[in-house]
Amino acid sequence: MTPITRATLVSPLAIAMSFPAFAEYGPVETDHYTLEVQTIAEGLEHPWGFAFISDDRYLVTERNPGTIRRGTVEGGLSDVVWEAEDLFRPEGETGRTQAGLFDIVLHPEFEDNGWVYVSYSRETDRGAALVVVRGTVTGDGDDIQIEDVEDIFVMKEEDQDASALHFGGRMAFDPSDNALFLSIGERRNISRAQDATDQAGSVLRMSDDGEPHQDNPEFATDEQDENPGEPDPYLYSIGNRNIQAMAVHMTTGELWTSDHGPLGGDEINLIVAGNNYGWPLTTGGSDYSGAPLGVGTAMEGMTPAVHIFDETVAPSGLTFVPEGTELDAWAGDMLIGGLVTEGIVRVRLEEGAVADEEFIEIGRRIRDVQVGPDGAIWVLTEHEDGEILRLAPEG
């Protein structure tokens, strides 16, 4: 693989010390910092997720065509290191499809086992299945590859369908026991989120080998159904719409998400085992036609959102700012990528409630956001000519 130079930086030290000038992005003003915006890479096709495999290298997914590439913090971008050859590509829906290659996360013991996990939509006889595969990162430097890729989770056959929307696909690891969380959207069929026999509209929890977690809760099925079926053993929560922003808090171990609302109603949730988050019975939004949905934001037996945004965010990507970085004023704060807001939402949580909220405008649809090994904010822009941007305090 021959790296393709996308930026003019020469070393990680240079990244930390200076910023090249890019006409399309000026400094971003926030409540605490002036953030310089640096373009690290460009020319990615709808990037969706990325993971740092070392201090100076990362892997990044391209939703469609379903490929993974390797990048360097100096700006290098490789050819394809892995491709999902059985990707679901619905015909005639190029402009509307949300199908493709989604998230990529590292096992908590990645330095020892080299395991990397990837989620994507696979073409099947019934349409599409959300799957998770596990591979091993081998080699180093410019010779990094992903090998020995195998399925660890395939959405069960009866839950597969041909919809091109609401796949979810975000993943997060619980380092306390190496459990893997996976979100699956309700596939644009709102009734599925309340069906405990269905994997859609939920958060799943599994072992790092893809088996249902032994401590998963057991949900009740619909007593009015003549043939209710068995509750799905993977379910961790239900009543979720289309979660694309999810992370485990680095100190509390809590699982936090930000879920897409319909027309308005984007929300932040603390996901607890066995809870029902209400969709579509409770929501802060309305139907796309403007018609009301559900009974409002609260209902007996449903867990209310921790926070409902006043304006549409279209959240995708979520992380927490660790202590000990140059973003010290934001330590512990949640950063959420915004597709519609074209920036980052910073949220401060205090005693389980939102104490501060700030919209940080960048001017591009943000698909994923992370704090890199260097302590700066790294984001993916969700476009056909997608970029990797780095944001750090001025100077």
Q: Dihedral of the CA atoms 84, 133, 370, 236 (nearest 10)? A: 130
Q: Say which CATH topology domain 4-393 has.
A: Neuraminidase (2.120.10)
Residue from 307, 237, 233 nearest 272 by CA: 237
The mean per-residue pLDDT over the stretch 63-90 comes to 95
Per residue in 58-74, pLDDT tens? 999 999 999 999 999 99
pLDDT band at 89; cut points 50, 70, 90: confident
Count Cβ atoms within 10 A of the Cβ of residue 209 and give its class: 0-12 exposed, 13-18 middle, 19 or more buried: exposed
Q: pTM of this prediction? A: 0.93
Per residue in 305-353, pLDDT tens? 999 999 999 999 999 999 999 999 999 999 999 999 999 999 999 998 9
How far apart, in whole angstroms, are the C-alpha atoms of residue 213 and residue 206?
A: 4
pLDDT band at 140; cut points 50, 70, 90: confident
3-state secondary structure at position 317? strand
Percent share of the chain, pLDDT over 70: 91
Kindly write down the DSSP assignment for every residue of 18-77, as one continuous string: -----TT---EE-SS-EEEEEEEEEEESSEEEEEESSSSEEEEEETTTTEEEEEETTSEE
pLDDT recorded at residue 226: 67
pLDDT band at 142; cut points 50, 70, 90: confident
Domain residue spans in the chain?
4-393
> Has residue 132 got a pLDDT over 90?
yes
Tokens read off for 165 = 């929307």
The mean per-residue pLDDT over the stretch 160-169 comes to 97
The mean per-residue pLDDT over the stretch 83-99 comes to 81
